[in-house]
Amino acid sequence: MKARLLALISILLGCEAAPPSEEAWVLMDQPLFPFELEEGSIPFQHDSGSRGLRHIGESVGSGGALFDVDGDGYLDLYLVQGAADDDVPNAGIPKPNQLFRGTAEGFVLHKGFSGYGDTGDGMGCAAGDFDQDGDQDLYITNDGPDRLLINDGKGRFTDETEARGIDQPRFGSVVTTVDIDLDGDLDLFVGHYLEFSKEDFEPCMRDELEVYCAPKNYPGVPCSLLINDGRGYFSDLSEEAGLNAFPSKALGVLTTDFDQDGDTDLYVANDGEANFLLLNLFKETGEVRFSEDALLAGCALGEGAKEEAGMGVAGVDLDEDGDEEILVTNFEAQSNSCYRNDGAGMFLETSFFNGMASPSLAWVGFGIRDMDVNHDTIPDIFVTNGHVIDNIGEVSQGQLQFAQPDQIYLGSANGFSVIEPHAEAPWKSGRAAISGDIDNDGDLDLIVTCWNDSPRILRSTAMGSAGAPVFGLELVGDGQRCSKDAVGAIITVESMGQTRTREHRIQSSYLASHDPRQLFALKRQAYSANVTIRWPDGTLSPTIQVKPGAYHRIEWGKGVTRVTPFSNPKP
């Protein structure tokens, strides 16, 4: 059976594949999606800030980050907390964002960490070495002023928002790190959701029931581009970059070099509006400037030309042609989108053709993460779902649910088939899907944040069960030609006739900042892989042969500087 499966998947058709045949369904009906669900192991309860007023911002939070705060080799977990408006009578004391230390035993609060507990009405965050001192700092988006927290390397943070030039008081949603001007540091692209005024608020009704209003009731707000001076001090170049011409309702942002001209472009998923493809003109003009091209490029709208409720985004090369497709999660009755990248700035929405669309129509998708769940070298997609209207059950007379299942779109040569990874567990209303190898065993685990609920861990047991060789990469830039975090580097992996390409980014999904390390499974017979890195400055690293079973730290200009074996997988 396994041989047949390998034969079946040896040709990857990706986005344009036909839906699964009956045979494929049978083959896929195997325990190749090994996640253990851990409920209640993270002592955190999300507070959306909802106190019965149904202000729209309450319904869409919140996210978090997986990153190694103190350099001890374990991923720590930062979770963003919502908050009620302070003039609401039953607001209560706002709860701070939380930072949990990653240990072999799990995530725990740690007295040595400090300064992280922002109490704003939080949405998302991005971890990155903004001041290039070798540790990970934090940018937090709020429905209100954003915060920039600088790390001292031991998890003691200092709020340096104003001191470092950050003045972003609008409704921040997604934030992503990107080196827009190719100067070797991390700039910030901040998505804004919409303009909401408590004073002008009028409740929305559906059949005499008060519901959260749709985003179309509010005007959009342009995104912001904050340019780093190399030392972690920022200037707002939104106007110069032309962003103010594009009011957005941004919830998801994807960074990648869509037109393959050597600089990083941006894709913005808007809620209820056409999405943006912001092509970076830096390489051509030497100026920080964008042109918006989504409609002509074919990635502005969903199937049926709907202005969809874009939430989470992911980028992955499904068809192994060297460029990345754009995946977007959307509202119910709108399929999750797969925009196949045909090169030359052309995309084609293919979700109905690869099996992604139909299974997504019933759900409201939020976090989305491309990952090789079953280590078969074919990309799979994890999606967490959850409605935004808390009383949707009542409104729809029981036909729709607020809590919804997580889904795995299992990739094969014939497209995607869908399974629920923990069908027996109670549903929750999922938001962010944050990925990382939390136990350092060589497979990708997930933290799923849930609205007004506790987060879940989906701990992968792929290393213990799939039996495929896996290696990991940790990319480090020199901080001059390439940011320390090396975002924008292109990784090419060749092994046994298969070539895969992946752009190194840290933020994607929905309000999520992932483990910056990269994992690649290889075919079962493989003993090694050839890895080439094209750094953001265009420098091509010499091909490096890596062996499975370890993380390989590759530094700009130095090659492999450290090999850290995976820890033993759980039995």
| Interface residue list for other proteins (CB under 8 A) | 16, 18-19, 206-207, 295-296, 298, 301, 303-306, 332-333, 342, 346, 348-350, 352-353, 355, 357-358, 361-362, 396-400
Task: Give the shortest CB-297-to-other proteins separation in angstroms.
Answer: 8
Q: Taking Cα atoms as reference points, which of 196, 57, 220, 213 lies closest to residue 124? A: 57
Task: Give the shortest CB-333-to-other proteins separation in angstroms.
Answer: 5
The Cα 184–Cα 165 span in angstroms is 19
Task: Give the shortest CB-186-to-other proteins separation in angstroms.
Answer: 34
528-551 burial string, b = 16+ CB within 10 Å, else e? ebebbbbbbbeeebeebebebebb
Q: Which is nearer to other proteins, 278 or 531 (CB)?
A: 278
Q: Which is nearer to other proteins, 57 or 355 (CB)?
A: 355
The Cα 500–Cα 54 span in angstroms is 45
The Cα 318–Cα 334 span in angstroms is 21
Task: Give the shortest CB-13-to-other proteins separation in angstroms.
Answer: 12
Token pair 């997604």 is found at: 174
Task: Give the shortest CB-108-to-other proteins separation in angstroms.
Answer: 41
Task: Report the SS3 class of residue 463.
Answer: helix
* Residues linked to residue 221 through DSSP beta bridges, in sequence order: 248
Q: Give, as one character, the DSSP assignment of residue 361.
A: T
The Cα 130–Cα 138 span in angstroms is 8
Q: Which is nearer to other proteins, 242 or 359 (CB)?
A: 359
Give the helix/strand (H/E) hosting 202: none
Q: Which residues contact 219 (CB under 8 A, 6 or more apart)?
A: 194, 195, 247
Q: Which is nearer to other proteins, 306 or 481 (CB)?
A: 306
Q: Which is nearer to other proteins, 400 or 544 (CB)?
A: 400
Task: Give the shortest CB-563-to-other proteins separation in angstroms.
Answer: 44
Phi, psi dihedral angles at 480 (to 5 degrees): -125, -55
Q: Which is nearer to other proteins, 273 or 555 (CB)?
A: 273
Task: Give the shortest CB-302-to-other proteins separation in angstroms.
Answer: 10
Phi, psi dihedral angles at 267 (to 5 degrees): -120, 125
Residue 374 CA, chain-centre distance (Å), reads 20
Task: Give the shortest CB-31-to-other proteins separation in angstroms.
Answer: 25
Q: What is the largest CA-CA distance in the chain?
A: 66
Q: Give the pair of three-digit tokens for residue 446.
A: 């997930």
Strands of 313-316's sheet in order across: 313-316, 325-328, 337-341, 347-349
Q: Which is nearer to other proteins, 141 or 337 (CB)?
A: 337
Q: Taking Cα atoms as reference points, which of 121, 119, 123, 167 lies closest to residue 144? A: 121
Q: Which is nearer to other proteins, 23 or 86 (CB)?
A: 23
Task: Give the shortest CB-319-to-other proteins separation in angstroms.
Answer: 13
Token pair 């050597």 is found at: 262
**Burial bucket for residue 436 (CB in 10 Å: 0-12, 13-18, 19+):** buried
Q: Which is nearer to other proteins, 66 or 294 (CB)?
A: 294
Q: Give, as one character, the DSSP assignment of residue 216.
A: G
* Residues linked to residue 78 through DSSP beta bridges, in sequence order: 65, 99
Number of Cβ within a 10 Å radius of residue 96: 15
Token pair 């937090």 is found at: 140
Task: Give the shortest CB-329-to-other proteins separation in angstroms.
Answer: 14
Q: Which is nearer to other proteins, 333 or 563 (CB)?
A: 333
Q: Which is nearer to other proteins, 25 or 527 (CB)?
A: 25
Sort strands 325-328 and 313-316 into parallel, antiparallel or unpaired.
antiparallel
Q: Which is nearer to other proteins, 237 or 326 (CB)?
A: 326
Task: Give the shortest CB-222-to-other proteins separation in angstroms.
Answer: 19
Task: Give the shortest CB-277-to-other proteins separation in angstroms.
Answer: 13
**Exposure of 210 in the CB half-sphere (CA atoms within 13 A):** 8
Quote the Cα angle for 249-236-251, to 5°.
Answer: 20
Task: Give the shortest CB-22-to-other proteins separation in angstroms.
Answer: 12
Q: Which is nearer to other proteins, 202 or 207 (CB)?
A: 207
**Can you give the length of the chain in residues?**
571
Give the helix/strand (H/E) hosting 27: helix 22-28
Q: Which amino acid, 554? A: I
Q: Which is nearer to other proteins, 199 or 207 (CB)?
A: 207
Q: Which residues contact 59 (CB under 8 A, 6 or more apart)?
A: 48, 50, 212, 388, 389, 390, 451
Task: Give the shortest CB-353-to-other proteins separation in angstroms.
Answer: 5
